[in-house]
Amino acid sequence: MPRSLMPNRRAHPRLRAEFAAKVYHVATKRWLPAMTCDTSAGGTLVKVRSERLIEPGEELHVHIAPDLWTIAAAKGALVATVLRCGRNQEGEQYLALKYRRDEMSVARRSAA
């Protein structure tokens, strides 16, 4: 089905935002470098490089910062669940993340 015919399932408006990020993959207890693609009050689309496929339903802890220097020192994280995922030819994974309900107020301030 062409992308233009697919219904928009997003509950919150998205802002195009490319920020350095790091993602803690709870299942493997590993940190993955990431980059945000867009963000909203309810979640974020991130691009990660990982040999292991990350599946819908998995929990991630997400640190987002305006630059690489800040991300290295980031403490505290937004807890998110993977809703959808896809992979490109270069092996990068695109993950649609939904923040846990109690994280959404923090995300709203970050997206503003």
> What is the DSSP pairing of strand 59-65 with strand 43-49?
unpaired
Q: Is residue 79 part of a domain?
A: yes
CA distance linking residue 30 with residue 14, whole number of Å: 28
pTM exceeds 0.85 for this model? no
Residue 88 lies in a domain: yes
Tell me the residue type at 50: S
Q: How high is the pLDDT of residue 10?
A: 63
In a domain, 3, yes or no: no
Residue 62 lies in a domain: yes
pLDDT digits 0-9 by tens, 23-63: 999 999 999 999 999 888 788 899 998 888 999 999 999 98
Print the domain residue range for 93: 13-111
In a domain, 81, yes or no: yes
- Classify residue 73: in a domain, yes or no: yes
CATH code: domain of residue 82: 2.40.10.220
